[in-house]
A and B are shown apart, each in its own frame.
Chain A
Amino acid sequence: MRFVYLALISIMFSFSGCSSKSIEEPKEAVAQEEKSSDDSNGELAGFADEFEAKEIYDPFSGYNRAMTGFNDGAYEYVLKPVAEGYKAVLHVEVRESVRNFFNNLYFPMRFTNNLLQGKFCNAYEEGGRFVINTTVGVLGLFDPARNHFNIEAHEEDFGQTLGFYGVKSGPHLVLPLLGPSNIRDAISLYPDSLLSPIDYSEREYWTLSDTSAEYIAAKSLENINYISLNMDRYEKMKRDAVDLYPYLRDVYEQYRDKQIEE
């Protein structure tokens, strides 16, 4: 008997939990409606908490704005025309192989950051991808791991690792040529570069580039190649901006938050 009562009480509670919520909402809506004569406010109130405008702390906005303008110009007048020429010369399959090759080189970075976040399964899959793509995929030029074994890459970098452990992004910072970033992600570029075989500092193991000139050449190739494969992406995105800097800033921060959440 007591059990039945307990069950009833618990059910009652779970219902009252729901009903108190649904009672509260219309109240809010009524309050909102009273404030202004607009009848559509009741409809909007249901979305109020979902789209609360966040105050953004942006002490570098002046510099960021200028750098966004510079990057945009560099893209439109230098990178894009070069990438268009590059695209015209090289077949898409060659360019995909160049991209795969660079992606494969960043395996140590992805592997380590997966491990640091305790994502052992993903780290294991990354390891598998590296072995398969480096051997069967001819030094990473092809991606049989994805195409034949259905193993997806797990993009992780040190900025995401820091975010995973609760480090806040800090103020937004637009980097020259590299584009939108923030203090946390910009600092993270350094530890990630230590895990990248594309580097010009003295290393005890093999790196793709030995001098800074070689480094710049390799990085340029990687980026021009990337742009050539994703030609209209930036333009399409830019179309929706009424003001480019805050738009790109917001897109970047939302995207990073999502990556860290995963």
Chain B
Amino acid sequence: MKKIYKKVLILCAAVLFGESLSANEQVELKEHFLNKINEVILVVEDKKISKNIRNGNIIKVLTPMFDFELMAKLSLGNTWKELSKENKDRFVKLYVERMKQSYSAKIDAYKDEKVEVKKIDQPQPNKMALVTDLVSKDEKLEIVYKFHKPKEKISAKDSWLVYDVEILGVSILKTDIAQFKEFLQTKSITELMDALAKQS
């Protein structure tokens, strides 16, 4: 009887320990994220430097936190597998550049806005979603940052990486998947890459 109790206790302890580990992970990620945001805000508020340099600095701060490469691959859905090696490389390069430009331009428009973390979900051990509010003078925008933890850490990147951003429920990645899919129904991958090149 006693032995069984011990086993149960050990099991319970293991479960609790596991949970507190993931709770720690969540707190760590939240703090890391807020630090990054503060860093970005410092860059954005530095209006002495030119817009181009400022955008470059925003990108420098944010790039380690984002898995743009994974987003590029996912954005093409099943088409990705069919691409040749050169096309894969070129597409990832163009997509990453476009994301960097678009995201830094969006962030550069922020002023007097506060970021509040509302909630952290961890649907799987290697995935977390940070639900945040971007609070400005007259509205609140809900933005969800979805992180994943790659099995092997990528060099020059954080251990948790953003693979999708949802603004008011609109997922950047889902939108790209849908529009690329429709584009490729009538046009070629080369045309898609030309269109992406024009955007960045």
Contacts and interface: CB of A to CB of B under 8 A. Distances in A.
Contacts of A213: none
Q: Which of A38, A41, A251 has the most CB of B within 10 A?
A: A251
Contacts of B140: 152
Contact of B177 (A4, A7, A51, A243): A51
Interface of chain B: mostly helix, strand, loop or mixed: helix
A11 to B, nearest CB: 6
Given A44-B80, A239-B199, A261-B169, A254 B138 contact: no
27 contacts: A4-B1, A4-B8, A36-B81, A43-B70, A43-B151, A46-B126, A46-B148, A47-B74, A47-B163, A51-B74, A146-B138, A152-B140, A240-B98, A240-B102, A240-B199, A242-B180, A242-B195, A242-B199, A246-B178, A247-B178, A250-B174, A250-B178, A254-B169, A254-B171, A255-B168, A258-B168, A258-B170
Contacts of A243: 179, 182-183
B74 to A, nearest CB: 6
Nearest to A100: B138
Task: State the majority secondary structure of interface residues on A.
Answer: helix
Interface string B177-190: 11111110000000
Interface in A216-248: 232, 236, 239-243, 246-247
Contacts of A193: none
Contacts of B195: 242
Nearest to A99: B138
A236 B138 contact: no
Interface residues of B, number: 46
B109 A236 contact: yes
Interface residues of A, number: 39
A77 B168 CA distance: 28
A246 B179 contact: yes
A228 to B, nearest CB: 14
Given A47-B74, A152-B140, A236 B106 contact: yes
Interface string A11-49: 100000000000000000000000110101101101100
B137 to A, nearest CB: 9
